Amino acid sequence: MTHTPTPLSSILLVLFASVIGSFGAVFLKLGSQHLHRGIIGLFNWQLAAGIALFLGSSVPFIMALKHGELSVLYPMVSLGYVWTMIWSRILFREPITRGKIGALALILAGITCIGIGGR
């Protein structure tokens, strides 16, 4: 099997997409804190920003897919879990434990394997 190598520009675009997506998760978490005020709490700018960031993160991803290979790029989106763990530590004071790091390592390895298997 010969594959055209995935260009660096595609990889950088996907990294960018994963960072945007991780901020999407952060804003969903921020917005979810308004739900204690009932259903009306759903309409807040943090939730809107979270959803917009999630949708927006697909733009650089799709741009990256034009020249790169899905089986390489798709697993890289899951790097967003790593960024999210860092932001959660900083913003929500959630501890980074050995268990969480181990779980993330297993999940990233698993998604990479599925990417390889999808070739």
Stretch that binds other proteins, among 6-14, 57-65, 79-87 (CB under 8 A): 79-87
The distance of closest approach from Cβ of residue 102 to other proteins in the complex, given in angstroms and rounded to an integer, is 6
Asked if 61 touches other proteins (CB under 8 A), the answer is no
Asked if 5 touches other proteins (CB under 8 A), the answer is no
3-state secondary structure the chain: CCCCCCCHHHHHHHHHHHHHHHHHHHHHHHHHHHHHHCHHHHCCHHHHHHHHHHHHHHHHHHHHHCCCCHHHHHHHHCCHHHHHHHHHHHHHCCCCCHHHHHHHHHHHHHHHHHHHHCC
Asked if 69 touches other proteins (CB under 8 A), the answer is no
Stretch that binds other proteins, among 3-11, 12-20, 61-69, 106-114 (CB under 8 A): 106-114
Question: Cα-Cα-Cα-Cα dihedral of 102, 105, 106, 109, to 10°?
Answer: -170
Nearer to other proteins, 9 or 105 (CB): 105
Read off the amino acid at residue 25.
A
Of the candidate residues 15, 19, 26, 64, the single one contacting other proteins (CB under 8 A)? 26
- Contacting positions for other proteins (CB under 8 A): 25-26, 28-33, 35-36, 42, 47, 51, 78, 81, 84-85, 87-89, 91-94, 96-97, 99-100, 102-107, 109-118
